[in-house]
Structures are given as structure tokens and as C-alpha cells.
């Protein structure tokens, strides 16, 4: 007889960190009555179980007897849980990934308990204090429970298990051949296909020609394959571009005259891939064709790099969205047969201290999003054993409804082992996680704008990851790779098997039997099985003769694997359910049948607010505010939650300096297996505020910063590869698309000037949000450039912290009056002004600086970015716990008018806070000074200061006035004062 039992595991081990943490999180909600809390784990176990079985499970598996105790009771079916005062219990919706439950089921069998049938887990929060039901309800909704994946009860939770369901073979024929345009549009909307009318018409004519109507699974396959997310239609479309102002294009890649009107053949082909092709770097092994870009590491190894975004899911379920974002990009690296060796994460959130009434209905508060996202990244990266070493976090009110979560991953592999050419007859093997109803329509949903009720209508798109399943898959795949067992590999990401198998078999044809695909629970319809975006799944093509060995490897690593079909050789996508054909389309139509678009775009310089400066600026106060701004402030609280040491390769860490607390420009890894001194440096450049002025300037600045990050620690500027990741608004709106064209042009021109090829890229469009009042909000155009640079010998690397009193400090690069989009202007409520201009001859300075680093002439290098010279100098001082005296008189500079527009900012202020590109601060030992100056000869470079033992930052202006004179301790306190997660 099947019964359900409730086991509560309670804490008796003294201080409970969960409670401290919980009370900290409750504090900003303003619920006064909470005096204390207790947290317990709940396990609902169902099955044919004797009391003794329940006792053994609770004792042997669920409880740590030193710090925990347990209670168990029978749960009566259909009863409502007992009411209890001040209690909230939170459990997952049935079907949400719950690895604890899965492990418990397996272990009970090992214990010899055969009767356990189902498990679900939950958490109990018992509060002390005077709390109304309304208070508890608020606690549940705003903190304890995300109703997208969980449900809660005030009092005892009634467990919900996945209901039993019969297998489903239901396939609808969708009559399409006789529909009018309006009906086609309605069909696309009703079925959540997000296909345009021309696309629906292309499908209609294909099936008219075939003399039949499509099945639901065929329509879903086309919607997925043709989705913006999978096809990148905008980046492949021809664009009629009209430019109404803005700076002309510059550099060796720019046309002699920047036209006002042009037709762009495509953003990828015309700019991004075009730059890589024109540069033709011999060390680029694969760009824009595989799951990740691949370059040479040395003669033996290659490294791969990829960055993705997971924005929409993270807006709805921050933990799960970021968690699966990390899992997804790791699979991209596994998908090029590489071992992941580093994760990178760049995040854009709303301000954490935002008033609750400024959060639009349907959105979560930025604090909750930030916490969930960081926890999701931590969970996946740490459990996979991949160090998270590089990233950035930006905060702006424009990201409240559309947070951005960029997840990157770097891999390494011996050369010559990756292959991607399935042969007819090879078996299609699915490895890893089972398929469930999770993530249905993810590809199409991520191509749509969010609305205030997206969370409820497409809740199924959001999932939680299971990193240990992916770790097992990784171990098995690397073994299979080394033994040459597969002929092709790819991951299941957006679009699930439909995308993975469809892509892999596009030149060969596939024949798949859906009934062979292992399911988490029965009841999925055939199209759901094929489109599910359940996590932790890989697909490989395996010759039949290798299946037996693959089986052994999978058994060793606890990986589930299944043959789900074969590569047919007939160029057809054929899918069966129980033998019956449910989809049968030519691969040519699936992949090439989409109607090409010609889009129109226009770019006009935007009108942005002016900063409102007081009559006189207190520069010391401004610097302290700049250091405390969350974009600049210490991210140590986040960085320490990520394991940045695992794999033993991290030789320049994300935090550096005397007390390991300064902000490193880039991380450097020396993978242990390579055995040599060579390493790779990881950095990034991002500044959406320049993009709000001119995306062309933003792109140059981002490329420049990403490159300077890695050069600052010691990477060779001639050996840097880049990734482009665009997060943008709706490309159907010509102004949004116009900015995108400008940004792509900037990427192209900067890449050619710096000699840095793009090896992979990705776009996330439609980051717009329509709130309950119908008001549309878009994100600022946000381009992330990630950089991967080679370091010939990591023992020459330098860090950004000041090392020694008495050393000279040089400023490399020219400062110009470029305060548009700067932190200074933002601190005073404005954006206007000139954004940092391209510096086409910057590569010469970079090469010279690199030579100086290689000759061990420098002790510290730091790149100048947000907050300019003032912030960079302060950071070097606080990281080194040393003083710094700077004199602006000698600073290399371009034209700086004494009075800038209506703002009246003087030359000193410009020199302190301008964000001109291509600049570094460099610490040089006195005895190395002449040699350093000789290597930098001909470059804009001048000595501007001295490291001092007095623990003060002292800056004097061009008229010899003391502008800033502050203790380093005070700077450090400001820099650490801000909540960043």
C-alpha cells in the first residue's frame, strides 16, 4: 500500500548560518515583527514503506546526527496540512529538477528499501515574533518562494508529486494550406511560434507543394529552427541603413568616406566574421562555425571560448536562469570536445537599493535577481569544478525589468581530437539528463519581448540545473573523445534535440525514434519530447562498432545513454513515434527555407540629459562617490563565492594585492596539463553608457578595454582573440537596429585596427519589457567584448597593486575631454558629452608596453576605465596598501578646452575623470626608469607620480593646486562600502 511520509530534519547545532542569512535578507523588506527563525529540511517520501523503512531512511540518509535531529509523520491524502503559526513551507512544483530527490530514490534501493516510489523535497521556515498572515505572505512571495518554480503554504505543505500519466502519441495535423494571412498570423500567435507572416507563408507554400498539412511537431521544428535565437535572422539579414550624424568611421577597416546611406549585406558576414577573415590570423583554428571559437594554445593544445546570455530566464527565475545559463555555455565547450577550464560572468542588474515601488509589476526586485543569479552561477561553476575567474557587474535602472546574464566558458583540448562530421549509418546517441517538460518553447520565447505576465504564461521555460549530471557527462565524453569513439558532437541547448540533431544531421539526414528517448515522467507529447530543453544533455554520433565501449565508459561514470536514431544519408529529417512517422521534411527546407529579410535601420544621435554640476566640485567627495558607485565598488563579496582556484591553474587571480583584495584587470591561467610556462589571460570590456551616446564609439571602447585588460597582466597584444555578445532591444524598430549596425561597424573597425579577430559571437535581442500599464522599456544597447590573450611565460605577469614606495608611476596614453557617458557625468545625473573616441594607433602603445612587461621593467600595470585616472590611481593604492602622489601637469593629453560646454568642467577634472581609451598607469622601479622610457619612446607616455610610503593618495593639478589628498584607508572604505549582491 502506497503512503506518503513527511520527514522533518531540524537543526540543533548551535548557530545556524541559514538563519543569520535569512534575517539579513528580511531586514531590507521592512517587516518589523521578525525576531528569529528556524529552518528545517522537509522530505516527502511516498511508497510501500514500513515504519522501519522510514526510520532507516531518515536516520541513515537524511540526518547528520551531530547537528540535526528528525521527526516523521504520515501524510493523509487529500487532507490540508495542519495550520501552524508563523510557518511558511516552500516546495518545488512537480517536475522541477530536484537532484536530492533523485539521489534519495537511488540510495534507498542500495539500502535495500525497494518500496520507495517518489520523493519531493521542501523547506520549512518557522518565525519567532509577532507576524500577521499578510507579513508571512509577503515573506513567502518576496523572499522564500518563487512561484515560477515553487509553491508555498502558510502552515504545513501538502506535497505534490508528478501525477501519473499514460504515454502520449498525440500528434495534431494543423490545417494550414487554406489559411488567409490573418489566420496564419493568428496560428503563429496561438501556438506560441513567434513566426512572422512571410515565414508562415513560406511554410504554407512548402506544404501546399507537398500536398498535405504539417503536423504539430513539424510546425514546432520550423518555429524553433527559424527562431531569432537559433537562426540569428537579424544578424544575417540585409539592412538598409541610414545614418543621421555621429562620428565618421575610422581606422584601417573603415571606408574612406563614411556613407550616410548604405545597404549592409549582413552584420555577421559584413562586419564580424568579415574582420576575422580579413585579419586571417594563422592561430585561429575555427571561428563562427562550431559551438565555440577555437585558437591555438601551443603546438599541442588548442583553446576554445564561448559566451552566451541567459537573460529572459534569469529575469523570471534568477537562480535557475543563471544556473542553466552557465550549464549551457559549458556544454558549448564540451561540444567542441574540450575540457572546460574557466568560467566568466558579466552581469547587469537594476540598482540593488531601488525603491520597491519603482519595480514594475511582474518583475522581481533587483536585489532578489542579483542574489539568485550569483547563487546560480556559484552552484553550477563550483560543482562542475570550473574556476570562475573573470567578469564584471553593472547596475542601472534600465536593467530592472531586463537583467543581463552573460556566461562564458573557456576550454582546452589536445589538437586533432575534435570532429564534427557524422557519417551515414552512425548512431545518434543521447547522453546525460532525461527529457521532461522543462524548457518547452525556450528558443521561441527568448526571441520575444517580456511582458508583466510572461512569468505565468511561459513558466515552463525556466529550469534548474543539475551540474553533477553534467560533470559526469563531461568525464564520459572526454574519455570517449580520447578513444576516438564518436564522429560528431553537439550539445542540447535552445530547441533541444530539434536543434541539436537537426543541426548535426543537416548535411546527412536523420531518422529518429522518439519512444527511445528516456523521459523524466510519462505523458509528454511527441513534439514536447523533441523540443524540450531539459538540461545536461549531449548528442554524439557513434559508429555502431563503438557502442559497446561507449556503454562501458558510461557505466563507469554513471551516465545514462541511449541510441535514439541514426544518420540516414537521405537528407531528410524523419521522426517517428512508435514507428509512425510524425515529421518528414527535407533538411534543405528546414535549414534554408526561411525567407530572407531586408530590414531598415536608422541611426540618429540621441538626446540625453546633461549632468547637473554644483557651482564648484569637491573633487575628493567626487572620488569617494565614484569608488562607492556599485559599478566600481569591490566585488569581493561576489568573487569569493566562486571557486577561482580549482584545477590549480589560476596564477593571476581576480583579487590581487597585499591582502588579496584589489581588483585585478584580468585573470591568468596556466593549465597544469600543458606542462609549460604558457598561459592565457581573460578580460572583458563593456560600457552601455557610451552606447547610449554612440554604439560605434562603445564598440571601439569595449574592444580597447578588453584588450587592455589582458595586456595589462602580460598577454601578447598580437595574440588576442575576442568574442562579441550583443544585448539589444527589438530589432524590428529601426532606431534599435540602427544602433546595432553602428556597434557592428565599430567592432569591425576596432578589430582590424587592433589585429584582434572575433572567434565567436552571440546576440540576445528583444530585451524589452512591456509593463502592466503598457509602457515599453528597453535596455541600453549593451555590447560585451570578451578577450582571451596568450601569455608566453606566466612568470612575467604583473598585477595592478602598487608594490614599492619610491617607484615611479607613468601614465601611458592620451587623455582627452571625453566625459560623455562617464561615471563622473552619471554621478551628476547626466550622460551628455563626447564618449571616448577610437584611438586607431593605440596598438603601438600596447605593443611597447608589452615589450616592457616582457623585459620585467614594470612592477604594476592598471588599465584606466570607469572613473578614469582618479579611480585607477586609487585602486592601485588601495590594493597595494601604499600611498601614491600624482601630478597632472605632465599627463599626456589631447585637446582639452578649458571650459567644456555648459558644464564648466575644468582641465583638472577632465584629467582626473575623463574615460579616454588606450590608457594605463604603470609602476616602474627607479632603476628601470630609463629602460622603460626607452621602450616607450615615441608613445604618449609620461611620468606622473611616485609611490609613497605614507598611505595617502595625493593628486596635484596643472596649476599645482592639491586636488585630492585622502588616506588610502578612507578610499578603501568607500570602495568596500557598497552592497553589490
Partner 1 sequence: MHPRVLILQATGTNRDGDAAYAIELAGGTPVTLHVNQLRAHPELLQQFQMLLLPGGFSYGDALGAGRLLAADMRWLFQEPLAAFVAAGKPVLGICNGFQALVKSGWLPGPPDGALRATLTRNVSNRFECRWVRLDPNSSSPCVFTRGLTEPITCPVAHGEGRFVPRDETTLAELTAAGQVAVTYATAGGSPPTYPANPNGSTADIAGICNAEGTVFGLMPHPEDHVLPEQHPRWARGERGHLGLALFEQGVRYAAGL
Q: Active-site residues: which are they?
A: 229, 310
User: Helix, strand or coil for residue 634?
Assistant: coil
- Least CB distance to partner 1 at residue 508 (A): 33
Nearer to partner 1, 635 or 762 (CB): 635
Composition of the chain by helix, strand, coil, percent to 5:
35, 25, 40
In DSSP terms, 957 is beta-bridged to none
Nearer to partner 1, 19 or 279 (CB): 19
Radius of gyration of the chain (CA): 29
What is the distance, to the nearest Å, from the Cα of residue 754 to the centroid of all Cα atoms in its chain? Answer: 25
Residue 304 corresponds to which cell in the numbers above?
Answer: 576554445
- Least CB distance to partner 1 at residue 970 (A): 22
How is 352-392 classified by DSSP, letter by letter? TT--GGGSPTTPPPHHHHHHHHHHHHHHHHHHHT--EEEEE
- Least CB distance to partner 1 at residue 683 (A): 17
Nearer to partner 1, 723 or 852 (CB): 852
Residue 352 corresponds to which cell in the numbers above?
Answer: 540593488
- Least CB distance to partner 1 at residue 638 (A): 11
Nearer to partner 1, 110 or 134 (CB): 110
CA atoms within 13 A on the CB side of 652: 33
Sequence-ordered list of residues with C-beta below 8 angstroms from that of 683, at least 6 positions apart, any chain = 390, 665, 666, 705, 706, 707, 708, 709, 710, 786, 787, 789
Nearer to partner 1, 797 or 910 (CB): 797
CA dihedral 196, 199, 203, 204 (to 10 degrees): 70
The single-letter DSSP state of residue 20 is H
Nearer to partner 1, 467 or 820 (CB): 467
- Least CB distance to partner 1 at residue 471 (A): 6
How is 412-425 classified by DSSP, letter by letter? EEETT-------TT
Nearer to partner 1, 91 or 821 (CB): 91
Q: Which residue, 870, 821, 496, 846, is CA-closest to 687? A: 821
- Least CB distance to partner 1 at residue 22 (A): 9
Nearer to partner 1, 130 or 558 (CB): 558
- Least CB distance to partner 1 at residue 124 (A): 16
Q: Which residue, 360, 512, 481, 347, is CA-closest to 411? A: 481
With 0-12 / 13-18 / 19 or more C-beta atoms within 10 angstroms meaning exposed / middle / buried, residue 792 is middle
- Least CB distance to partner 1 at residue 265 (A): 45
Q: Where are the alpha helices (DSSP H) in 565-723?
A: 587-592, 619-628, 636-639, 688-693, 695-713
- Least CB distance to partner 1 at residue 921 (A): 16
- Least CB distance to partner 1 at residue 594 (A): 41
Report how far residue 13's alpha carbon sits from residue 69's, in angstroms, rounded to the nearest whole number.
10
Check: CB of residue 318 under 8 Å from CB of residue 367: no
Nearer to partner 1, 642 or 726 (CB): 642
Nearer to partner 1, 269 or 385 (CB): 385
Nearer to partner 1, 799 or 946 (CB): 799
- Least CB distance to partner 1 at residue 464 (A): 12
Residue 549's CB is within 10 A of a number of other CB atoms, namely: 14
Question: What phi-psi label fits residue 162: left (phi over 0), alpha (psi between -120 and 50 degrees) or beta?
Answer: beta
Check: CB of residue 156 under 8 Å from CB of residue 89: yes
Residue ranges with strand state E in 244-387: 261-264, 284-286, 293-296, 301-309, 339-349
- Least CB distance to partner 1 at residue 344 (A): 16
Check: CB of residue 153 under 8 Å from CB of residue 44: no
Report how far residue 448's alpha carbon sits from residue 182's, in angstroms, rounded to the nearest whole number.
20
Residue 473 corresponds to which cell in the numbers above?
Answer: 557527462
Q: Which residue has cell 529550469?
A: 463
- Least CB distance to partner 1 at residue 577 (A): 32
Q: In the β-sheet with 510-513, what is the strand arrangement from edge to edge?
A: 488-491, 537-542, 427-432, 561-567, 510-513, 572-577, 580-586
Report how far residue 450's alpha carbon sits from residue 401's, in angstroms, rounded to the nearest whole number.
9
Report how far residue 393's alpha carbon sits from residue 352's, in angstroms, rounded to the nearest whole number.
12
For partner 1, the binding residues (CB under 8 A) are 13-18, 20-21, 60-62, 64-67, 99-100, 102-104, 107, 110-111, 378, 382-385, 466-468, 471-472, 555-558, 640-648, 650-653, 655-658, 660, 670, 672-673, 794-795, 797-799, 801, 803
Number of residues written out for the chain: 981
User: Helix, strand or coil for residue 698?
Assistant: helix
User: H or E segment at 324?
Assistant: helix 318-334
Nearer to partner 1, 189 or 856 (CB): 856
- Backbone torsions φ then ψ of 117, nearest 5 degrees: -110, -35
Check: CB of residue 953 under 8 Å from CB of residue 974: no
Nearer to partner 1, 120 or 188 (CB): 120
Amino acid at each position: 500500500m502506497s503512503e506518503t511520509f513527511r520527514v522533518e530534519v531540524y537543526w540543533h547545532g548551535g548557530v545556524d548560518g541559514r538563519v543569520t542569512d535569512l534575517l539579513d535578507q528580511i531586514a531590507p523588506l521592512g517587516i518589523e515583527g521578525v525576531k528569529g527563525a528556524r529552518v528545517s529540511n522537509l522530505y516527502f517520501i511516498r511508497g510501500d514503506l514500513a515504519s522501519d523503512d522510514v526510520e532507516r531512511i531518515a536516520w541513515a540518509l537524511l540526518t547528520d546526527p551531530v547537528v540535526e535531529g528528525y521527526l516523521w509523520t504520515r501524510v493523509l491524502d487529500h487532507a490540508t496540512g495542519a495550520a501552524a503559526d508563523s510557518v511558511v513551507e516552500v516546495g518545488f512544483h512537480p517536475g522541477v529538477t530536484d537532484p536530492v530527490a533523485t539521489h534519495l530514490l537511488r540510495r534507498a534501493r542500495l539500502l535495500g528499501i525497494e518500496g520507495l516510489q517518489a520523493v519531493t523535497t521542501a523547506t520549512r521556515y518557522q518565525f519567532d515574533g509577532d507576524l500577521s498572515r499578510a507579513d508571512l505572505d509577503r515573506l513567502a512571495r518576496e523572499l522564500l518562494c518563487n512561484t515560477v518554480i515553487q509553491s508555498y503554504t502558510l502552515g504545513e505543505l501538502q506535497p505534490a508529486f508528478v501525477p501519473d500519466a499514460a504515454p502520449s502519441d498525440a500528434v495534431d495535423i494543423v490545417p494550414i494550406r487554406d489559411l488567409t494571412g490573418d489566420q496564419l498570423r493568428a496560428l503563429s500567435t496561438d501556438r506560441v511560434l513567434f513566426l512572422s507572416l512571410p515565414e508562415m507563408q513560406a511554410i504554407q507554400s512548402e506544404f501546399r507543394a507537398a500536398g498535405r498539412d504539417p503536423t504539430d511537431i513539424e510546425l514546432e521544428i520550423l518555429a524553433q529552427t527559424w527562431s531569432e535565437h537559433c537562426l540569428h535572422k537579424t544578424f544575417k539579414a540585409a539592412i538598409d541603413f541610414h545614418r543621421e550624424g555621429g562620428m565618421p568611421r575610422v581606422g584601417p577597416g573603415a571606408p574612406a568616406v563614411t556613407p550616410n546611406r548604405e545597404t549592409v549585406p549582413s552584420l555577421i558576414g559584413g562586419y564580424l566574421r568579415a574582420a576575422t577573415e580579413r585579419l586571417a590570423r594563422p592561430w585561429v583554428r575555427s571561428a563562427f562555425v562550431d559551438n565555440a571559437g577555437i585558437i591555438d594554445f601551443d603546438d599541442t593544445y588548442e583553446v576554445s571560448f564561448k559566451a552566451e546570455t541567459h537573460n529572459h530566464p534569469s529575469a523570471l527565475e534568477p537562480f535557475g536562469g543563471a544556473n542553466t545559463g552557465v550549464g549551457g555555455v559549458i556544454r558549448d565547450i564540451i561540444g567542441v570536445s574540450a575540457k572546460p577550464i574557466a568560467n566568466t560572468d558579466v552581469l547587469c542588474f537594476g540598482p540593488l537599493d531601488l525603491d520597491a515601488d519603482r519595480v514594475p509589476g511582474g518583475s522581481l526586485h533587483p536585489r532578489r535577481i542579483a542574489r539568485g543569479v550569483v547563487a546560480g552561477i556559484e552552484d553550477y561553476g563550483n560543482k562542475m569544478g570550473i574556476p570562475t575567474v573573470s567578469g564584471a557587474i553593472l547596475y542601472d535602472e534600465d536593467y530592472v525589468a531586463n537583467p543581463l546574464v552573460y556566461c562564458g566558458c573557456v576550454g582546452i583540448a589536445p589538437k586533432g581530437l575534435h570532429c564534427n562530421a557524422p557519417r551515414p549509418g552512425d548512431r545518434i546517441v543521447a547522453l546525460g539528463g532525461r527529457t521532461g517538460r522543462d524548457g518547452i518553447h525556450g528558443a521561441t520565447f527568448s526571441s520575444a519581448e517580456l511582458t508583466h505576465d510572461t512569468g505565468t504564461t511561459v513558466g515552463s521555460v525556466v529550469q534548474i540545473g543539475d551540474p553533477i549530471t553534467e560533470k559526469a557527462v563531461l568525464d564520459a565524453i572526454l574519455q570517449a573523445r580520447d578513444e576516438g569513439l564518436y564522429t560528431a558532437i553537439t550539445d542540447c541547448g535552445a530547441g533541444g534535440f530539434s536543434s541539436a540533431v537537426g543541426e548535426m544531421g543537416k548535411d546527412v539526414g536523420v531518422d529518429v525514434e522518439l519512444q527511445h528517448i528516456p523521459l523524466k515522467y510519462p505523458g509528454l507529447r511527441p513534439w514536447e519530447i523533441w523540443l524540450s530543453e531539459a538540461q545536461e544533455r549531449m548528442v554524439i554520433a557513434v559508429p555502431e562498432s563503438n557502442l559497446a565501449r561507449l556503454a562501458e565508459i558510461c557505466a563507469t561514470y554513471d551516465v545514462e545513454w541511449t541510441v535514439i536514431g541514426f544518420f540516414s544519408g537521405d537528407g531528410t529529417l524523419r521522426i517517428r513515434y512508435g514507428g509512425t512517422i510524425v515529421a518528414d521534411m527535407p533538411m534543405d527546407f528546414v535549414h534554408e527555407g526561411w525567407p530572407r529579410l531586408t530590414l531598415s535601420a536608422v541611426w540618429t544621435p540621441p538626446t540625453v540629459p546633461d549632468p547637473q554640476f554644483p557651482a564648484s566640485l569637491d573633487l575628493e567627495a567626487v572620488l569617494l562617490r565614484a569608488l562607492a558607485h556599485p559599478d566600481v565598488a569591490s566585488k569581493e563579496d561576489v568573487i569569493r563565492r566562486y571557486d577561482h582556484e580549482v584545477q590549480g591553474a589560476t596564477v593571476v587571480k581576480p583579487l590581487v594585492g597585499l591582502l588579496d583584495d584589489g581588483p585585478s584587470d584580468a585573470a591568468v591561467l596556466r593549465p597544469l596539463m600543458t606542462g609549460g610556462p604558457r598561459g592565457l589571460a581573460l578580460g572583458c570590456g563593456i560600457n552601455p553608457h557610451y552606447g547610449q551616446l554612440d554604439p560605434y564609439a562603445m564598440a571601439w571602447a569595449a574592444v580597447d578595454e578588453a584588450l587592455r585588460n589582458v595586456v595589462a597582466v602580460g598577454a601578447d597584444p598580437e595574440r588576442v582573440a575576442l568574442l562579441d555578445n550583443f544585448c539589444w532591444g527589438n530589432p524590428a524598430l529601426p532606431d534599435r537596429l540602427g544602433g546595432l549596425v553602428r556597434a557592428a561597424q565599430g567592432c569591425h573597425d576596432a578589430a582590424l585596427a587592433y589585429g584582434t579577430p572575433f572567434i565567436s559571437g552571440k546576440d540576445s535581442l528583444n530585451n524589452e519589457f512591456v509593463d502592466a500599464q503598457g509602457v515599453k522599456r528597453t535596455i541600453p544597447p549593451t555590447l560585451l567584448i570578451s578577450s582571451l590573450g596568450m601569455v608566453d611565460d606566466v612568470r612575467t605577469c604583473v598585477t595592478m597593486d602598487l608594490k614599492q614606495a619610491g617607484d615611479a608611476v607613468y601614465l601611458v596614453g592620451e587623455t582627452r575631454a571625453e566625459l560623455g557617458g562617464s561615471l563622473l557625468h552619471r554621478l551628476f545625473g547626466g550622460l551628455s558629452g563626447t564618449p571616448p573616441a577610437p584611438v586607431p594607433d593605440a596598438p603601438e602603445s600596447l605593443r611597447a608596453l608589452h615589450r616592457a612587461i616582457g623585459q620585467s621593467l614594470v612592477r604594476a600595470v592598471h588599465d584606466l576605465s570607469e572613473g578614469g585616472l582618479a579611480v585607477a590611481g586609487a585602486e592601485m593604492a588601495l590594493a597595494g596598501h601604499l600611498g601614491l602622489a600624482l601630478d597632472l601637469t605632465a599627463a599626456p593629453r589631447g585637446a582639452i578646452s578649458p571650459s567644456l560646454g555648459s558644464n564648466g568642467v575644468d582641465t583638472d577634472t577632465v584629467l582626473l575623470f575623463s574615460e579616454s581609451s588606450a590608457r594605463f598607469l604603470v609602476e616602474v622601479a627607479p632603476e628601470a626608469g630609463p629602460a622603460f622610457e626607452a621602450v616607450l619612446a615615441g608613445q604618449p607616455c609620461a611620468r606622473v607620480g611616485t609611490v609613497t610610503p605614507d598611505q595617502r593618495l595625493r593628486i596635484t593639478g596643472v596649476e599645482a593646486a592639491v586636488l585630492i589628498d585622502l588616506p588610502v584607508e578612507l578610499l578603501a572604505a568607500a570602495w568596500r562600502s557598497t552592497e553589490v549582491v
